[in-house]
Structure 1
């Protein structure tokens, strides 16, 4: 991949900068004076987004659909489609390595998430979601009980920090931002922000679960994946391991024409 950050070099300044930003952001959430500002922002944004849902109209229905588990899988497919579409963000020759580099960053984030969850538990930073705390909150599962039973609609969490759903969207958007320009960059971040909204409208997460916890995890994982040799070496290794499979698949009609298979 002919991009400066996917290589076998350590980029110490960028690595350190990501850690400084991540830990300053977390500190702003933990320090009492600035935590009061975060709490106020959380409450005001939740009221703004959740209040219209009481009418159980179009606003509530849109975000109730967006909060369904099957829709989460559809969002994942859309994210991969943007990454894998040749000449949208990456050229056909770059697509496969881009996919492997992103997956390596995602694996790192999942590992960080496991460790961070233990720290959050140990330090007593955990909290219930907005829908369980704010009196009179519109609960989408109560507004659409049939949908909840059939489609696993999520509008609450007893442990809402950090925002796992948001962290995946954010690391994808950050990764894609290295390569995206102009309207493509706007597309990436519009998708990430819109797909984060269902959890915020429903009250399954506070805004700071995403903007502090999600960003914290995404920044650390992206830093160790992309500003060290990790993503480069992981993508090179995965390409070698999957080479027999991609060669076999490239001979199939239609499937073999996909850039992630053909490499062009």
Structure 2
């Protein structure tokens, strides 16, 4: 392993663990709960103040909007894919496979954390629920909201974008992450800390071992060698 990258990995791991335990160890989650509660109640009050906001929150938590998030990520991926030659496009496709494989494994690791709780819409009483205010299919509650799976998937995508496409693409990926994670908090299906403590700490601990070690490149090289469809190069010896 590169001697420069190991300290970076350990530093990121330390930051991720510090973030998680700053929330996990204090009784009642300390100041994090106050922040969570304030953010939830701010948006919850807005639901009955503005019908336009209510509709916006309902629509952006519909399953169709999840498809739009996939379209946004795919569009960013396609922007770089179309610039590549056949070899580069094949490697990008394989990189996508490695990213999905990493997401599945990291997500399973996240669910090993000994912490589970309901969303704020199920925790608090005398609050407004979008599903009761509008007759519209939307997700406004979760019986197990920690860590945020949706947020973790977006963060893994963002990490791979930074590693393989650079800082400009990373900035766009961060915007995509914020746009598509905010509705979950605005409707009350997730606490702020489900994403910015749970999902983020898992990503900071796990992703460096995939992206800052030879692991991701090695998997890409292995799949590139054995997956069908690779054009063989023939050397003319005449």
Q: CA RMSD for the aligned pairs?
A: 2.5
> How many residues are treated as equivalent by the alignment?
227
2:154 equivalent to 1:154: no
Could you say which residue in structure 1 is the equivalent of 2:127? 137
Q: Distance between the aligned counterparts of 1:9 and 1:54, measured in 2?
A: 55
Aligned residues of 2:99 and 2:157 also touching (Cα < 8 A): no
How is 1:99-248 mapped onto 2 (pairs within 5 angstroms)?
99-120=93-114, 125-145=115-135, 147-148=136-137, 153-178=138-163, 179-182=165-168, 184-244=169-229
CA drift at 1:65: 1.1
Summarize deviations over 1:139-193 as a string: whole Å, max 9, x none: 1111222x22xxxx211011110000111111222332343435x4443222210
Task: Identify the range of structure 1 (110-119 vs 21-30) with the bigger mean alpha-carbon deviation.
Answer: 110-119
Which portions of structure 1, spanning 4 or more consecutive aligned residues, are displaced by more than 6 angstroms?
none
**1:92 and 2:78 correspond:** no
Name the residue aligned to 1:252: none
SS at match of 2:141: coil
What's the offset of the Cα at 1:202?
A: 0.9
Is the 1:109–1:221 contact (alpha carbons within 8 Å) kept by the matching residues of 2? no
Q: Which residue of 2 aligns with 1:83?
A: 77
Following TM superposition, by how much is the alpha carbon of 1:13 offset from its aligned partner in structure 2, in angstroms? 1.8
CA distance in 1, matches of 2:76, 2:44: 30
Contiguous gaps of at least 5 residues in structure 1:
1-7, 248-264
Is 2:145–2:194's contact at 8 Å kept on the other side of the alignment?
yes
Residues 192/99 of structure 1: CA separation in 2 closer, same or farther (3 Å cut): farther
Matches of 1:105 and 1:86 in 2, distance apart? Answer: 16
* Structure 2 counterpart SS, 1:118: coil
Instruction: Give the C-alpha shift of residue 72 in structure 1.
Output: 0.8
1:55 to partner: Cα distance: 4.0
Would you say 1:54 and 2:54 are equivalent positions? no
Kept after mapping to 1: 8 A contact 2:107/2:152: no
Contact 1:25–1:212 (CA under 8 A) maintained in structure 2: yes
C-alpha distance in structure 2 between counterparts of 1:162 and 1:95, whole Å = 33
Deviates more, 1:235-244 or 1:11-20: 235-244
TM superposition shift of 1:98: 4.0
How far did residue 104 of structure 1 move? Answer: 2.1
Structure-2 change in CA distance of 1:96 and 1:225 (3 Å)? farther
Q: Can you list the C-alpha shifts for 1:18-69, whole angstroms capped at 9, x where unaligned? A: 2111111111111217921110111111122222112461112112111112
Structure 1: distance between partners of 2:49 and 2:176: 26
Structure 2 distance, partners of 1:235, 1:187, is 24
Q: What TM-score do the two structures reach when normalised by structure 1?
A: 0.76
Q: Distance in 1 between matches of 2:193 and 2:89?
A: 33
